[in-house]
Amino acid sequence: KAGVTQTPRYLIKTRGQQVTLSCSPISGHRSVSWYQQTPGQGLQFLFEYFSETQRNKGNFPGRFSGRQFSNSRSEMNVSTLELGDSALYLCASSWAGEGEQFFGPGTRLTVL
Amino acid sequence: QKEVEQNSGPLSVPEGAIASLNCTYSDRGSQSFFWYRQYSGKSPELIMSIYSNGDKEDGRFTAQLNKASQYVSLLIRDSQPSDSATYLCAVRDRMDNDMRFGAGTRLTVKP
């Protein structure tokens, strides 16, 4: 069974630009959660999508948004990038938003 | 504020010893508990899940849960240098289903 995949793996952007990250969950999983990980703040929850609906949202500004498609693939978008957005962005999938979550390899975003 | 607390470490143990990692959580409604291992530069990898009070063993790993004390631990027996990583405790509650992570404990196993 294929694991969670994320694309791209690395991104370099400049301040003010926007970025879209993609996540394909494990086959059969309907829930996708997104996290931001930085050395100083640890793993911070961004949002969770289940059956194309945002079910939970963390404490991030509106520049961070996401969506989920009918095939459970998810995208997150960050607009007007700031230097502080440099981080490892992780997505994790689970069968129904309960129980175990499995992480993808992450997208490392660097904002210059 | 629902919190998950871990000793940040670093925790250093000699090869072959038992490493003990601890986690406390504030939300009594928490129902599901997980331990993840994260190597430097990699994503977290699920190593154990536990849902009921008591011990759960999987190879060299034992998870222990005490809901009354709001405490979950991970024991690693016969620690190996390859176990050197950051261990993240995660807790999911019943109400909003959020998965909350601790800051992680960095473990170093010295040969």
Query: Cα–Cα–Cα angle for A75, A97, B6, nearest 5°?
Result: 95
Chain B contact probe: residue of A21, A32, A101, A107 with most B CBs at under 10 A: A101
Q: Token digits for B15? A: 């090869």
pLDDT at B80: 98
Do residue B100 and residue A45 have CB atoms under 8 angstroms apart? yes
Separation CA A109–CA A5 (nearest Å): 16
pLDDT at B5: 95
Say if CB A20 and CB A77 are below 8 A apart.
yes
* Residues 6 or more apart whose Cβ sits within 8 Å of residue A88: A36, A37, A38, A106, A107, A108, A109, B43
Q: For residue A98, which residues of chain B lie inside 8 Å, CB to CB?
A: 32, 92, 97
pLDDT band for position A44 (cuts 50, 70, 90): very high
Separation CA A12–CA A111 (nearest Å): 6
pLDDT band for position A5 (cuts 50, 70, 90): very high
Report chain B's mean pLDDT, rounded to a whole number.
93
* Partner-chain residue, chosen from A88, A100, A105, that has the shortest CB–CB distance to B46: A100
Q: What is the pLDDT along chain B (111 residues), one digit of tens a residue?
A: 778 999 878 999 999 999 999 999 998 888 899 999 999 999 999 999 999 999 999 999 999 999 999 999 999 999 999 999 999 999 987 766 778 999 999 999 999
